[in-house]
């Protein structure tokens, strides 16, 4: 018997199956510093203990996307090692702040299965939960991927397609315990804009661009213990290029969005997302946002529903006349962020 992990194939999944993913991981000051070095991240709550204390928290929490990437990375060996495509995200909710020293692990439940008509692969839906060292959930999201079959003759499972919300309703957003923006210092945060200053439909070009290096995307991807070989092995693809982990683009775009959304301090939910085109080292990534919705979630605390688009081309580009993403578009992410009301 081989000792190494061959990954799961489509026929290895059954509805209701729960997978406890390896390896638990303690996240601390080092992960925070590396995140700041890897992305132009400047959101004040994630940068400063002093600022976070003023916001009623017990210190600066670990950036929400560190939590997302860490929880996601653990699922790769069980969910996407034999995946052909990463198809979507839904119902992502950040449930509790993570602080330096906390240990994260992940569990996934299989909630949907649909074999493709070609009989060679199928779509698997999982609901993944990130848990801390006290087994409290900190993050939950649904992800679906297309996975190859090991044996094309394996029988098709009964088709189950989960009923997923298009958007997390604002009343389901979790406000971190203790959070208040009552003594929020807009000058220190970097911009004067409150939720009310953003109009639905407003679009923001975040101006700056970052050219991606191989060393940087590999450092980032390893930091989340995501070991998918396409990201690291230049001999794996015929063109000798290493595919950049989609989460790297999410973090890069979110960090760039500081310029115009500096007060959108925390991500409360991920409503959906598409990695529209692959990205490679040498690409220069820019970002723009569109305000999709606005809601009050607690006294003094609002949520903005934002579309965040990463592109290696012009701002505000998204889809062509055929409705397909333009070739320069890398990411189309739909999320809720918390911001002073």
Looking at beta carbons only, is 166 or 202 nearer to a copy of itself?
202
Residues 96-115 touching a copy of itself, rule: CB under 8 A, are 100-101, 103, 105
Residues 48-87, one symbol each (x = binds a copy of itself by CB under 8 A, - = not), give xxxx--------x----------------x----------
Q: What is the dihedral of CA 80, 164, 94, 200, to 10 degrees?
A: 120
Q: Does 38 bind a copy of itself (CB under 8 A)?
A: yes
Decide if residue 42 touches a copy of itself (CB under 8 A): yes
Considering beta carbons, is residue 140 or 221 the nearer one to a copy of itself? 221
Give the span between the Cα atoms of 317 and 301, in whole angstroms.
Answer: 31
Look at strands 284-298 and 203-205 and give their pairing.
antiparallel
Regarding 47 and contact with a copy of itself (CB under 8 A), the answer is yes
| Cβ neighbour number for residue 83 with a 10 Å cutoff | 20
Residue 295 CB, nearest approach to a copy of itself (Å): 19
Q: Judged by CB under 8 A, which of 120, 159, 160, 229 binds a copy of itself? A: 229
What residues have CB less than 8 Å from 27, skipping those under 6 apart? 62, 66, 67, 70, 98, 100, 101, 102, 103, 104
Would you count residue 25 as binding a copy of itself (CB under 8 A)?
Answer: yes
**Residue 5 to residues 8, 22, 41, 144, 233, Cα–Cα distance (Å):** 9, 12, 35, 21, 17
DSSP labels, 248-270: HHHHHHHHHTHHHHTT--EEEEE
Q: Which of residues 165-224 bind a copy of itself (CB under 8 A)?
A: 187-191, 193, 197-198, 204-211, 213-216, 218-220, 222-223
Binding-site size for a copy of itself (CB under 8 A) equals 78
Residues within window 293-312 making contact with a copy of itself, judged by CB under 8 A: none
Q: Which helix (H) or strand (E) holds 183?
A: none
Interface residue with a copy of itself among 44, 62, 302, 333 (CB under 8 A) is 44
Binding pattern for the stretch 257-296 against a copy of itself, x by CB under 8 A and - elsewhere:
--xxxx-------------------x-x------------
């Amino acid at each position: 018997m081989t000792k190494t992990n061959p990954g799961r194939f489509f026929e290895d999944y059954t509805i209701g199956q729960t997978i406890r993913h390896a390896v638990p991981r303690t996240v601390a000051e080092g992960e925070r510093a590396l995140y700041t070095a890897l992305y132009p991240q400047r959101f004040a709550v994630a940068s400063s203990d002093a600022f976070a204390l003023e916001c009623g928290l017990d210190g600066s929490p670990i950036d929400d996307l560190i939590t997302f990437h860490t929880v996601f990375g653990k699922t790769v060996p069980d969910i996407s090692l034999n995946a052909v495509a990463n198809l979507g995200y839904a119902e992502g909710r950040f449930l509790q702040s993570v602080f330096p020293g906390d240990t994260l692990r992940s569990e996934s439940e299989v909630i949907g299965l649909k074999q493709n008509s070609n009989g060679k692969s199928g779509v698997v839906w999982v609901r993944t939960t990130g848990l801390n060292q006290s087994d409290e959930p900190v993050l939950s999201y649904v992800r679906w991927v297309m996975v190859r079959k090991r044996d094309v003759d394996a029988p098709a499972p009964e088709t189950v397609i989960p009923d997923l919300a298009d958007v997390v309703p604002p009343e389901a957003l979790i406000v971190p315990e203790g959070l208040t923006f009552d003594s929020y210092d807009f000058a220190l945060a970097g911009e004067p804009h409150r939720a009310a200053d953003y109009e639905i439909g407003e679009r923001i070009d975040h101006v700056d661009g970052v050219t991606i290096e191989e060393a940087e995307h590999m450092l980032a991807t390893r930091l989340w213990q995501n070991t998918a070989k396409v990201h690291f092995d230049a001999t794996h693809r015929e063109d000798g290029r290493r595919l950049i982990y989609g989460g790297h683009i999410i973090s890069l775009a979110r960090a760039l969005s500081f310029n115009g959304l500096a007060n959108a301090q925390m991500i409360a939910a991920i409503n959906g997302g598409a990695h529209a085109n692959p990205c490679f080292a040498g690409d220069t990534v820019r970002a723009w946002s569109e305000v999709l919705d606005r809601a009050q979630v607690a006294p003094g605390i609002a949520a903005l529903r934002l579309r965040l688009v990463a592109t290696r081309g012009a701002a505000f580009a998204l889809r062509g006349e055929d409705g397909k993403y333009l070739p320069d578009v890398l990411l189309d992410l739909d999320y809720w962020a918390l911001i002073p009301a």
